[in-house]
């Protein structure tokens, strides 16, 4: 399956999962909404150019916004993490390899600890930005901090579960292929 088709399927699954499952489940506590859809951006292949990353991020966010009736809110956060992604990968990528031996970021490609750091940083940025934008019009500072920490915790839990439940079968990229 080509990267393009794989990612289109992934995109629809993530958006539908977010809109019809995660936003629908009875809330755990006040307003902690589990969110997972941005894992799509974290899973994009290494080879996507930075410019394309930004556009894909924007489209992902705006699609979710259409369903959530908050135009621009998730789009802004997705563009932010799409912009930051290459920097963080550059810092965390294994130094000894000349290129990336795998196609996309995964625990296998980066190693568990760097991968978790990578997801944690981007999750924090994503939720921090969304809650900040909501908070500008509404709420107090404790509400803001509590919500960022709680949503980040839930999202990290979901990401780890996803990684354990659906290990992506990825071919090791060799020179011969």
User: Which residue ranges make up the site for another protein (CB under 8 A)?
Assistant: 16, 19-20, 23-24, 26-27, 30-31, 33, 50-51, 54-55, 57-58, 61-62, 65-73, 75-76, 79-80, 83, 133-134, 137-139
Query: Minimum distance between the CB of residue 82 and another protein, rounded to whole angstroms?
Result: 8
Is 26 or 96 the residue whose CB approaches another protein more closely?
Answer: 26
Least distance CB 130 / another protein (angstroms): 10
CB of 65 to another protein, least distance (A): 8
Least distance from C-beta 44 to another protein, angstroms? Answer: 15
Pick 36 or 79: Cβ nearer another protein: 79
Q: Which residues of 99-113 are buried (b: 16+ CB within 10 A; e: fewer)?
A: ebebbbbbbbbbeee
Rank residues 123 and 151 by Cβ distance to another protein and give the closer one: 151
Nearer to another protein, 57 or 107 (CB): 57
Query: For 172, which DSSP code?
Result: P
Q: What are phi and psi of 144, to 5 degrees?
A: -60, -55
Nearest to 36 by CA among 19, 56, 57, 51: 19
Which long-range contacts does 87-93 make (Cβ < 8 Å, 24+ apart)? Answer: 88/118, 88/121, 88/122, 89/46, 89/118, 92/117, 92/118
108's tokens = 């296998």
140-160 in b/e form (b: 16+ CB < 10 A) is: eeeebebbbebbbebbeebbe
Query: In the complex, what is the shortest distance from the CB of residue 54 to another protein, in angstroms, rounded to a whole number?
Result: 6
Of 23 and 101, which has the nearer Cβ to another protein? 23
Name which of 30, 50, 29 is nearest 41 in CA terms.
Answer: 50
């Amino acid at each position: 399956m080509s990267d393009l088709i794989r990612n289109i399927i992934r995109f629809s699954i993530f958006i539908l999962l977010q809109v019809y499952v995660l936003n629908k489940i009875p809330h755990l506590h006040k307003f902690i909404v589990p969110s997972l859809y941005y894992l799509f951006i974290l899973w994009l292949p290494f080879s996507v150019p930075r410019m394309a990353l930004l556009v894909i991020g924007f489209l992902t966010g705006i699609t979710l916004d259409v369903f959530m009736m908050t135009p621009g809110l998730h789009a802004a956060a997705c563009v932010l993490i799409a912009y930051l992604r290459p920097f963080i990968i550059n810092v965390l990528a294994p130094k000894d390899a000349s290129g990336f031996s795998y196609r996309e970021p995964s625990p296998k490609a980066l190693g568990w600890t760097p991968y978790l750091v990578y997801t944690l940083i981007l999750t924090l940025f994503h939720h921090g930005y969304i809650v900040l934008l909501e908070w500008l019009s509404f709420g107090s500072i404790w509400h803001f901090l509590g919500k960022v920490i709680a949503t980040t915790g839930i999202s990290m839990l979901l990401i780890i579960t996803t990684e354990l439940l659906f290990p992506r079968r990825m071919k090791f990229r060799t020179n011969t292929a």
